[in-house]
Amino acid sequence: MEDRPVAEAFRQYYDPYVYQGSLDENLKEARRLKRDTTHCRFCKRSREETTFKENTHLLSKLLGNYNYYSHDECDTCNKLFGKRENDLSRFLGTTRTFDHLVNERIAPGFESSSGQVGLKKIGPEVFYVYKKRDGEDFKVDINGGQAEINLDSQVYTPENVYLSLLKMALGILPEKNIPDYELAFKILQNPEIYPRTQHLRKACITEIGMIIARPYAQLYRRRQDLNMPELPQMLFCLSVGRFMFQIIVPGHRADDADIGKSFDLRVAPYIQLNLKETHDGIVERRFIEDLSSAEPVTKENKLHFSFGTDKLVSVKMDGLTDLL
Ligand SMILES: [Zn+2]
């Protein structure tokens, strides 16, 4: 409900264009189509120049998309994008463990950047935060009732987070639009050659107070009846966990002549898929995250809490023996 005004403003400029959030298992179908793929969608290499043996995901598997595969991504690109997606999962830090909801899969574990603190999900609402190595990052004072735990993310490169989002945007782009975005595909292969598009490497992040178990993505297209070159032709949104990332799809051929062009961003609303059972009041904040830097960084994340010391108990829990 709180995003209705955002949606109304947004729909004056953009139409929904592509939706991808299929939960269907399509491995067989994707493998069949892959046998007939002549060129990689991303790098344009032919079967003579690359291979198409790996199973490739349309949306990253690291985000919880286990079943839905693509058919036109080559193994060379899969390797390149896979490395970048590791940075996307590091950027998400502890949320991949805390917010894991897919019951049939074990939640990914987490290790802090210093390697001193570990985190595992061991039950529906039960998490195990533990000291992995000696150091200053895990301080629990049992007698004083104080805990200070440092769960900083592993080091990641912001630019790779952006490029992972762009890859998914270009992955769901309809084939007929691929020629319009030649430059965007080139940026994806060699971002360093296009420093003048660096100002577009940012995401508008909407943080919400509920968790969605599996990712879904949308492309929005600028309304065809509008002549507003200051608005980008295409916007991409990815919802995962408790976030929605929105980026501009750069490099449309209409803007080619002005590669360093700036755009106005229209904020996309947070969309709920289940209209029968809506949750209102879940949008917590919205902010722009600069993802242009190619320098490695870590995301600070500190737990600090107090607890009563008079009723502390020690419990033995199933599944923990291998950890202790
Ligand atoms: Zn390729």
Cβ partners under 8 Å of residue 129, min gap 6: 117, 118, 119, 149, 151, 303
The Cα 183–Cα 251 span in angstroms is 5
DSSP state of 272: P
Q: According to the model, what pLDDT value does residue 125 have?
A: 81
**Structure token digits, residue 135:** 């150091």
Is residue 7 pLDDT above 90, yes or no? yes
Give start and end residues of each alpha helix (H) in the chain.
4-11, 27-35, 75-92, 95-98, 158-171, 182-189
Q: What is the pLDDT of residue 323?
A: 47
Position 324 confidence tier, pLDDT thresholds 50, 70, 90: very low
Using the mean position of ligand 1's atoms as its centre, give its distance from the Cα of residue 45 in Å: 6
Predicted confidence (pLDDT) at residue 27 exceeds the cutoff of 60? yes
Cα(78) to centroid(ligand 1), Å: 7
Mean pLDDT for all residues in the chain: 92
Give the mean model confidence (pLDDT) for residues 279-299: 96
Per-position DSSP letters for 201-269, written without gaps between them = -EEEEEEEEEEEEEEEEEEEEE-TT---TTS-SEEEEEEEEEEEEEEE----GGGTT-TT---PPPPPP
Using the mean position of ligand 1's atoms as its centre, give its distance from the Cα of residue 43 in Å.
4
- Distance of CA 198 from the midpoint of ligand 1 (Å): 23
- Does 118 have pLDDT greater than 60? yes
Residue the block writes with tokens 């917590």? 284
Give the Å distance between the CA of 253 and the centre of ligand 1: 21
CA angle 309, 313, 317 (to 5 degrees): 140
- In the reported structure, the alpha carbon of residue 159 is separated from the centroid of ligand 1 by a whole-number distance in angstroms of 20
Where residue 251 falls (left for φ over 0; alpha for ψ -120 to 50; beta otherwise) is left
Query: Given a cut of 70, is residue 321 above it in pLDDT?
Result: no
pLDDT of 66 higher than 90: no
| Cα 314 to middle of ligand 1, angstroms | 54
Which residue from 199, 174, 169, 185 is spatially nearest to 264, judged by alpha carbons? 199
Percent of the chain having pLDDT more than 70? 98
51 Cα to the center of ligand 1, angstroms? 9
CA 276 to centroid of chain Cα atoms? 26
Spatial CA neighbour of 212 closest among 161, 269, 274, 167: 274
| pLDDT at 105 exceeding the cut of 70 | yes
3-state secondary structure of 123: strand
Local confidence band at 126 (pLDDT 50, 70, 90 cut-offs): confident
Tell which wins on pLDDT, 126 or 170: 170
For the stretch 217-248, pLDDT in tens is: 999 999 999 999 999 999 999 999 999 999 99
pLDDT for residue 101: 76
* Cα–ligand 1 centroid distance for 299 (angstroms): 31
In the predicted structure, residue 322 carries a pLDDT above the cut 70: no
- pLDDT greater than 90 at residue 100: no
Average pLDDT over residues 75-85: 96
Bridge partners for 304 per DSSP: 148
Across the range 57-66, mean pLDDT stands at 85
167, 313 contact by CB (below 8 A):
no
